Structure 1
Amino acid sequence: MKALLLLLLMLPQAGLAGSVVATRTLPAGTVIAPGDVAIAEDQPGGVADVAQVAGQQLRVMVYQGRRIDPSFLTAPTLVGRNQIVTIAYEKSALRIEAEGRALSAGSVGQMIRVMNNASRVTVSGRVAPDGTVIIEQH
């Protein structure tokens, strides 16, 4: 019986782990820096590692000392609505670039609509890590 109790005490206790809390009031849209958050041992649940939230963007406001829930986080927006972006079409060795206006905001990997400034044609493309919108052929 003592061995069983000892074994149970040695298992990791998820309920005793701390969670990430805001060190200051963070408005919605804030990209979280490591200095914006800390681990609070007295608030179980939520995200337990600062590295998991650093670089993520908040969808809602989080007040100082409050726990940051994973549902509050999203990938950071790279392209804003009405932002001027480079539109690129690639096929084999051919690459055509044009200037366009983003019709919606998007983060890396998301599909957004972009209007070509020269022809006024609206196309859809995927946001690349450098902010270029890559048009995919269908």
Structure 2
Amino acid sequence: MKRVAFALLLFSGPVGAEGLAAGRVIRAGTVLGASDVIFVRAVPGGLSDPSEVIGREARVTLYAGRPLRAEDLRPPALVDRNQLVTLVFKSGGLSLQAEGRALSRGGEGERIRVMNLQSRVTVFGTVLPDGTVFAGGR
């Protein structure tokens, strides 16, 4: 009587799936282009769609061959630390604008701290597509 052994292999994704990795060392703050990424074997939590990577900014240093993760990337910064920005507050029909100094970097949709230069009060605001910072209201 012959005995036959079987092995059961379980895969969490499709066999042969591809993911994206840095093609070279990329410093934090660099906006990624098509030439900066390569295809590698997919890993859990890694990105696989180039549209999720190209045009985004590296949040941390990315090392060649390492898989790219969503938390390693962010929208490109529109506001740099110490940059003068327009701070906007709206409430009903009232709209106030003040000059502020950004206390951190931020891309579109990110929340950053800004100091109102007139009152010296620090507030949180959301970076708008034109680089102004919306501090609140409706």
> Do the structures match in fold with TM over 0.5?
yes
The secondary structure found in structure 1 opposite 2:35 is: helix
Higher helix proportion (structure 1 or 2):
1
Moved over 6 A (4+): none
Quick one: structure 1 residues 67 and 125, their matched pair in 2 at CA, closer, same or farther if it must change by over 3 Å?
closer
Once the two structures are superposed, the pairs formed by residues 46-65 of structure 1 within 5 Å of their partners are 46-65=46-65
Task: Tell me the alpha carbon deviations over residues 79-105 of structure 1, each in whole angstroms, 9 at most, x when there is no partner.
Answer: 222111001122334322221101233
State whether residues 33 and 54 of structure 2, in contact with CA within 8 Å, keep that contact through their aligned partners in structure 1: yes
The C-alpha deviation readout for 1:45-104, integer Å capped at 9, x for no partner, is 222221111122223322333332334223333322211100112233432222110123
**Overall identity of the aligned pairs, in %:** 44
Mapped partners of 2:130, 2:95: distance in 1: 16
Partner of 1:129: 129
Q: Which SS does the other structure have where 1:35 is aligned? A: helix
Separation in structure 1 between the aligned mates of residue 58 and residue 95 of structure 2, nearest angstrom = 35
* Conserved 8 A contact 2:88-2:136: no
Question: What TM-score, normalized to structure 1?
Answer: 0.72
Residue 129 of structure 1: how far off its partner (Å)? 1.7
Aligned residue number for residue 115 of structure 2: 115
Give the letter aligned to residue 42 of structure 2.
P
Contact 1:34–1:51, Cα closer than 8 Å, also in 2: no
Amino acid at match of 2:105: A
Q: Structure 2 unaligned runs (5+)?
A: 1-12
Higher deviation after alignment, 87-96 or 46-55: 87-96
**Residues 80, 120 of structure 1: alpha-carbon distance in 2 compared, 3 angstrom cutoff:** same
Shift of 1:120: 2.3
Distance 1:120 1:107, change over 3 A: same
One-letter identity of the residue aligned with 1:59: R
Give the 5 Å matches for 1:69-84: 69-84=69-84
User: How many residues were matched structurally?
Assistant: 124
Report what 1:3 is aligned to.
Answer: none
